[in-house]
Structure 1
Amino acid sequence: METKENRPKVQRSSILLALAVFLASLLLTACGAPSSAPETGGETAGPSQVIVIIPEEPASLNQYHAVAAIVRQVADAVSAPLAVPNENGEFIPVLAAELPTVENGGVSPDYLTVTWKLRPGLRWSDGEPLTSDDIKFTWEAVSHPESGNVLALGFEKIASIETPDELTAVITYKELNQAYLQQFMYGILPRHATGAPAEMLQWAWNRNPVSAGPYVVTQWNSGESIVMERNPYYYLEGQPYIDRVIFTIVPDPGAQIAMMAKGEAHVHLWPGETKEVYDAQVAGRAALQEVPGQWNMTLFFNLSRPFDGDPGPEPPHPILGDLRVRQAIAHAIDYDLIVTAVNPGTFPTATPFAYGWYKCDQERKYPYDPERAKALLEEAGWVEGPDGIRVAQGARYAEDGTRLRVQLNGYTNFQPLVKLEEALVEMFRAVGIEATIQNDDFSIIFGSYEDGAPRQVGNFDILVYDTSLPIEPQAAIENTYLSTAIPTAENPAGNNASRWVNPRADELIRAASATVDLEARRAAYCELSELIATELPRLNLYLFTEGYGASNRLSGYKVNMWGSLSWDIQNWKLE
């Protein structure tokens, strides 16, 4: 699972400051570039530069530490995986010479052995050879219990990796891994330029990576910008075409639009407007490029008591532990109003399995019906108080007199989310539920268990954010819905933040993991979807389109619902 995945509370002072950053960057030697490197040619005369607006600064460029999608939006420019999904949802080789399959002998008939072949002559940005040992090291590092890895990629299923030569990595699995093609899609790590796996969270590499991707970081101005220059050893000759890319951190939506309208930036991540509105705002200098997306706006209910020092599923949440309250909340939401007036341009969905080969046609179990919501709350022992907000009187888990108050926790600097939360507050109040809003920086809401992030330690009522599933979803599903995936000190990377425990869900997930039959797996996922829609550990609301604002001077890009903004940055051209 990923989260959208925007936000430091730092304001840019002026465009003059951005110009100063640029001029200063011209005087600095590239941090990741060697002193002697081969020449590579661009397609523009003189240095070319693209300004990319991002709403928040990534904490790191190590994608294995990233729940927040802002990291991937930037880090893909300096990352090089073995293979990635293209805009059509088809995996294509990057560092790999070809995709391993049963037909070409790269995958054994039982799917327990996968052989990857690297392209010959690959080098890191410091000029050192990139070899199969780096593939092995990536597994060793990411699978280390103290690495800080938060991604569910199935590395624990690997029994061994052998490297018979510098171009060949033979991976033996302990069990079936349907996601072998996406195993290394978040990048290969250089053994010689990182550090000990147990110290991965502290690697200097995380913010200044020796790269095999199109670019290398040359300057990181905290709260302002990340400057990147072309990787002189990139494997595609003559690419990338743009000499310099500056990811400029601009939290304020109005300032973002102004920069695009004045032609001061070329790419705008997550504009938060419909295409019609956005194209008018940027005055013909740019346009919103979008495709149907995978970001699924969701309410995550905490089924366990918060702030009790116990991250486990018991005791129940005093309010949300009662299914009838969760059903009432679902009935209180006007879903049509949300997708037509609150967040227009979005598409309603009632399931996390809303796209891809595993798509389920899930009906909404608890449609908009405020009168039914009120009746359920009365039945659950929540009676209307003098100010219209309900209080407990015979409720299952709450003491009598407890006010029916919940907090919505989201992330900052994303206007569609704020608009949604404000609408939910009014809808909830109409049935007697008081809701407050607390939005935090991405680094807080999506922080680690060790950092005490509310989502991981269970100190929240209702989380509000958009999440997604990859093309091959099994590992993410296991880490999100299995009852063994609840985050604890022993399992800090678990993603079952709702603390949902359902034995039938566990059975379905394990059945899907034991076969390569897509129809059988889809059937299991769709039954799981039915359980989720019925028991409401989470409530799916709508899908965003995927895209970004792009200057009319920029070409060569392809919007990819399965990738990031920078997934194909090596192909960008500036006129």
Structure 2
Amino acid sequence: MKLKLFTLFVVLGIVLSACSGGGTAEGTEPAVGGGGGGTVVLILPEEPTTLNFYLADAAIVRQVADATSMTGLVTIDETGNFVPMLADGMPAISDDYLTVTWKLKEGLKWSDGEPLTSDDIRFTIEVLSNPNSGALVGTSGFDLITNVETPDDLTAILTYSEPYPGYLDQFAYGLFPRHATGAPEEMAGWEWNRAPVTAGPFVLSNWESGKSITLNRNPNYFEEGKPYLDSIVFEIVPEPAAQTAMMLNGEAQFHLWPSEFEEDYNELLKGKARQYLIPGIWNMAIDFNLSAPFDGDPGPDAPHPILGDIRVRQAIAHAINYESLQQDVLQGSVGDSTNPFAYGWYKCDLPHKYGYDVEAANKLLDEAGWVMGEDGIRVAQGAMYAEDGTRLSLELQGYTAFDPLQLTEEFIVENLKAVGIEARIQNYDFSIIFGTFEDNSPRMVGDYDMLIFDRGFTTEPQGYNFDAYHSSRIPSAENPTGGNYFRWVNEDVDKALELAGSSFDIETRKQAYCEIGQAVIDDLPQVYLYLFQDGYGIADNLEGYVLNTWGSMSWGVQNWKYKQGQ
């Protein structure tokens, strides 16, 4: 709490300085009389690297892309249901689940005025089924589409090689315009990625790197009379106190992930804005690297000298005081979580197997050949993989500019120190932690010990979890976009993922996912810490927004407007 109170004093100092300089930022005045028009400023803690969702290296990409390039055939509403967007109703599916027919709304146009047709659906499939496209997310199931027929400009008939229950989710994140992009295998280098021709409510006007991203109303947007606003501006403001000061000064209207806890925030901004909390889709976990780091081989064969022994991973899990982390450090702003299936129809209520137990942690480390050293840090003496004399010292990697993560890291360090494990915090910018294999991002090439970050999920769990846990998705030079950063190989998990990805029976799928969740708890390729609630600070004079667990801060932005008279 002392840290939070200090932050509030810093905010007040910034506000007083800003007030002496003259009030509202230029170009952000709300529309006089309310309703249509005007500009809304949204605060981002980090700058996205792209506006192409399929190249998203961090959650921050979607915060902007939802307002421009991510308008798909369907979207996921606040109830978790798929609803049509560009599609003229929900698609028809054959009795054998192998043929899906999509119909587009009539008269659709891209933001440059060109017609949006079924050929753009075909092109999107060509891109996302191409193994050389460079796509990092959202490609699951596209390789199962064996044929695409476009009998007219409004109809696309897709044939799958096997039933794929994620057929709706595949088309919820935007289409690519064939005429304004490039070759499928060159997607990672498209100019479109930072200046997309779009079917969404807003289109890029200006991107001033490190400062702001400005989007203007798309004159060809398909919902008549929308968007209501003239423009939206994403201001990139890494410093939490400066973010809150902007809201207090009226320089911004929408604040992503305020660092202050809800009660403190609402007290400070009373009469101007308030913070809203909704169930999040982000699970915070510590990922363990199960393979040897810094050996020039990203593969899973050589075990990690310390973490390759499951008893060490079990001891780490036992050493963490989850309740204190959730309730004391983060003041109840998060929920408990034990596995990747934390929300939605596939939620798995699985208890901690290795809950907080310092005595058990010490016993496991003793048994694993790690003896307490004179300085309070254990050293190897007969350990499974580590040479005698090796210190039980591990690097804990994370990313910058996110207070809850930094508080969590500091707490974990103290917890592990209590059982003789040294954890060294090493935080990187988003662009490094979430970088590519070609850029030598530590998690991609396997050069890390422990990595703490938040993993997201959607109403359709197959794509993301297949990418994270299937052994075929271990990153390598031949498979540079894989998401199994743990280098975890479990044949039963592979089979469960394959079953869940081919069945249309909800109970069969849920059982398979819960088997995977239990395997994560048993094998400990990672240990889950808590489930985020998403926090948004929103100005009192803004209306029309719907907070959507399955979306982002800019989901539904076409409906936003200023209140009448404000």
TM norm structure 1: 0.91
Paired with 2:502 and 2:155, the residues of 1 have a C-alpha distance of 27
Q: Does 1:236 align with 2:226?
A: no
Contact 2:23–2:249 at 8 Å: present in 1 too?
A: no
Q: Does 1:91 align with 2:82?
A: yes
RMSD: 2.1
Q: Does 1:224 align with 2:211?
A: yes
3-state SS, counterpart of residue 180 of structure 1? coil
Paired with 2:554 and 2:548, the residues of 1 have a C-alpha distance of 10
Paired with 1:207 and 1:42, the residues of 2 have a C-alpha distance of 32
2:49 corresponds, among 42, 45, 59, to 59
- Shift of the alpha carbon at 1:342? 1.2
Which letter maps to 2:258? P
Q: Does 1:338 align with 2:325?
A: yes
**Farther-moved stretch of structure 1 (220-229 vs 544-553):** 544-553
Paired with 1:478 and 1:507, the residues of 2 have a C-alpha distance of 11
3-state SS, counterpart of residue 183 of structure 1? helix
List alignment gaps of at least 5 residues for structure 1.
1-12, 24-40, 101-105
Which letter maps to 1:341? D
Paired with 1:429 and 1:500, the residues of 2 have a C-alpha distance of 26
Which letter maps to 1:73? Q
Contact 1:225–1:249 at 8 Å: present in 2 too?
A: yes
1:160 corresponds, among 141, 147, 159, to 147
- Shift of the alpha carbon at 1:46? 8.1
CA pair 47-506 structure 1, distance change in 2 beyond 3 A = closer
Match of 2:298 in 1: 311
Match of 1:143 in 2: 129
Instruction: Count the aligned residue pairs.
Output: 543
- What aligned pairs does 1:355-394 form with structure 2 within 5 A after superposition? 355-394=343-382
Match of 2:109 in 1: 123
Match of 2:458 in 1: 470
CA pair 114-46 structure 1, distance change in 2 beyond 3 A = closer
TM norm structure 2: 0.93
Match of 1:490 in 2: 478
Q: Does 1:527 align with 2:515?
A: yes
Contact 1:44–1:241 at 8 Å: present in 2 too?
A: no
3-state SS, counterpart of residue 411 of structure 2? helix
Paired with 1:20 and 1:200, the residues of 2 have a C-alpha distance of 37
Contact 1:42–1:241 at 8 Å: present in 2 too?
A: no
- What aligned pairs does 1:538-553 form with structure 2 within 5 A after superposition? 538-553=526-541
Match of 1:3 in 2: none
Contact 1:332–1:373 at 8 Å: present in 2 too?
A: yes
Contact 1:547–1:559 at 8 Å: present in 2 too?
A: no
3-state SS, counterpart of residue 326 of structure 2? helix
- What aligned pairs does 1:280-359 form with structure 2 within 5 A after superposition? 280-344=267-331, 345-359=333-347
Contact 1:42–1:242 at 8 Å: present in 2 too?
A: no
Match of 1:34 in 2: none
- Shift of the alpha carbon at 1:69? 0.9
Q: Does 1:264 align with 2:255?
A: no
Q: Does 1:251 align with 2:251?
A: no
Paired with 2:443 and 2:106, the residues of 1 have a C-alpha distance of 44
Paired with 1:188 and 1:433, the residues of 2 have a C-alpha distance of 48
Paired with 2:446 and 2:272, the residues of 1 have a C-alpha distance of 45
3-state SS, counterpart of residue 395 of structure 2? strand
Match of 1:71 in 2: 61
**Farther-moved stretch of structure 1 (137-146 vs 449-458):** 137-146
CA pair 447-78 structure 1, distance change in 2 beyond 3 A = same
CA pair 20-257 structure 1, distance change in 2 beyond 3 A = closer
Paired with 2:403 and 2:446, the residues of 1 have a C-alpha distance of 26
Match of 2:440 in 1: 452
- What aligned pairs does 1:38-57 form with structure 2 within 5 A after superposition? 44=34, 47-57=37-47
Paired with 1:158 and 1:14, the residues of 2 have a C-alpha distance of 56
Contact 2:77–2:83 at 8 Å: present in 1 too?
A: yes
List alignment gaps of at least 5 residues for structure 2.
1-16
